[in-house]
């Protein structure tokens, strides 16, 4: 029986968060960032569990206090106490596959700090600890000798895998692999049947080498949700125009065009050093019956929520202010990883 990576809208047990702490680059803005994490926990625990990775016992106690003050039901929170370098759960978290009988295989790929840009040894060890402490013993687990981040791949219910050439073919990840061997490995390990390689599109301030989850997302029924830039003076416009043309050329395995839903382009946001921050509406999180969408106090927020509602008509769509999160050059999807139904013991 073969396993296949589950689309994000498959039923979930939990969402994993790795909490920011004083020994990370978040230190100076923790007072702004932690309320976003608390808000996420408030929404998620109404529908499923939250798994929180805490750097140490002291942080676990602090988090529990924050959540209690916010009336988060602590019985819906599971903790894993283990040292961590940073908070990007999407990229160091596990990629979970299922077979036709609903049995799970938890894949633990290597996380190397997006091509050895940042120290990631502690984050790379989180999954083994998570699985040992919280995963149901009936689930398979395998550590895979291949660098791959969850933000770098999307898959739909038909087994078509969506990614960017800039990320997966970057020599800072797996220099021994070419495109053909990467596809072969992902067919074997993630059950991918077909591939869509996005060759254009980037996000200023992004350290990930163009992760797909900042640019294009799958929705059910052969739908692609993507960012579109209408400002001809914006540095992203040319590249995103080329990306849109490529998306228009993509075909399903049956030869049909994908339904395309465009997301608006938020106004440029900069930090105190004048660096542009990677604000993107594509970095949303799908949980059970709900989509949590990053918003930025921007005039386009309402349109972004409306467009995402079109893509997921059976879901409730909720905006989460993620301006504090993008100050560390990621957004809502980047700090979360869904754990499918059956993951937890």
Q: If the chain, 345 residues long, is cut into consecutive pieces of 10 residues, what is the mean pLDDT of each piece? A: 93 98 96 98 98 98 98 98 98 97 97 97 98 98 98 98 97 97 98 97 93 98 97 94 98 98 96 94 98 98 98 98 96 98 97
pLDDT of residue 207: 93
d(CA 59, CA 32): 17
pLDDT of residue 223: 98
Whole-number Cα distances in Å, 41 to 121, 136, 281, 292, 320: 26, 22, 20, 11, 11
CA-closest candidate to residue 214, choices 277, 142, 132, 288 = 277
pLDDT of residue 1: 54
pLDDT of residue 16: 98
Q: Is the CA virtual torsion 79, 141, 14, 16 positive or negative?
A: positive
Taking each helix axis from N to C end, the angle separating 30-44 and 57-69, rounded to the nearest 10 degrees, works out to 70
CA terminus-to-terminus distance, the chain: 22
* Whether 316 contacts 76, CB under 8 Å: no
Count of positions (residues) in the chain? 345
d(CA 235, CA 240): 10
Query: Which pair of structure tokens corresponds to residue 103?
Result: 């049995």
Whole-number Cα distances in Å, 164 to 71, 157, 167, 198, 336: 40, 19, 6, 5, 20
3-state secondary structure (DSSP) of residue 126? helix
Element (H, E) at 225: strand 223-227
| 201 phi/psi in degrees, rounded to 5 | 105, 135
Query: Which pair of structure tokens corresponds to residue 36?
Result: 């976003």
3-state secondary structure (DSSP) of residue 244? helix
Domain boundaries, the chain: 4-340
User: For residue 212, how many other CB atoms are within 10 A of its CB?
Assistant: 26
CATH architecture assignment, domain 4-340: 5-stranded Propeller (3.75)
Chain centroid offset of residue 228 CA? 19
Element (H, E) at 105: strand 104-110
Helices (H), the chain: 30-44, 57-69, 89-92, 113-116, 121-124, 126-134, 165-168, 179-190, 237-249, 301-311
pLDDT of residue 338: 98
Query: Which pair of structure tokens corresponds to residue 273?
Result: 């050093």
d(CA 253, CA 90): 28
Contacts of 93 (CB under 8 A, 6+ apart): 16, 18, 126, 127, 150, 337
- 295, β-bridge pairs: 321
């Amino acid at each position: 029986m073969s396993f296949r990576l589950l689309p994000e809208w498959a039923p979930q047990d939990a969402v994993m968060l790795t909490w920011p702490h004083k020994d990370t680059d978040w230190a100076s803005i923790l007072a702004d960032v932690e309320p976003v994490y608390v808000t996420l926990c408030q929404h998620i625990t109404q529908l499923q569990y939250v798994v929180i990775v805490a750097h140490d016992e002291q942080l676990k106690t602090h988090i529990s206090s924050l959540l209690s003050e916010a009336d988060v039901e602590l019985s819906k929170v599971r903790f894993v106490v283990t040292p961590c370098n940073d908070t990007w759960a999407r990229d160091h978290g596990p990629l979970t596959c299922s077979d036709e009988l609903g049995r799970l295989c938890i894949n633990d790929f290597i996380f190397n700090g997006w091509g050895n840009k940042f120290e990631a040894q502690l984050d790379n060890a989180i999954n083994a600890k998570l699985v040992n402490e919280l995963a149901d013993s009936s689930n398979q687990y395998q550590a895979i000798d291949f660098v791959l981040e969850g933000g770098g791949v999307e898959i739909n219910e038909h087994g078509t895998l969506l990614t960017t050439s800039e990320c997966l073919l970057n020599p800072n990840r797996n220099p021994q692999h070419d495109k053909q061997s990467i596809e072969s490995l992902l067919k074997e390990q993630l059950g991918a049947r077909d591939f869509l390689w996005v060759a254009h599109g980037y996000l200023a301030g992004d350290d990930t080498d163009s992760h797909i989850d900042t640019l294009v997302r799958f929705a059910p029924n052969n739908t692609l949700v993507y960012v579109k830039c209408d400002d001809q003076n914006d540095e992203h416009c040319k590249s995103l125009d080329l990306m849109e043309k490529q998306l228009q050329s993509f075909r399903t395995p049956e030869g049909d065009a994908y339904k395309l839903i465009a997301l608006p382009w938020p106004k440029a946001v900069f930090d105190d050093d004048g660096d542009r921050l990677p604000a993107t509406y594509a970095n949303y999180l799908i949980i059970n019956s709900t989509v949590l969408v990053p918003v930025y106090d921007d005039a386009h927020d309402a349109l972004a929520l409306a467009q995402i509602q079109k893509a997921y008509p059976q879901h409730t769509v909720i905006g989460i202010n993620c301006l504090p999160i993008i100050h560390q050059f990621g957004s809502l999807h980047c700090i979360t990883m869904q754990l499918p139904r059956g993951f937890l013991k």
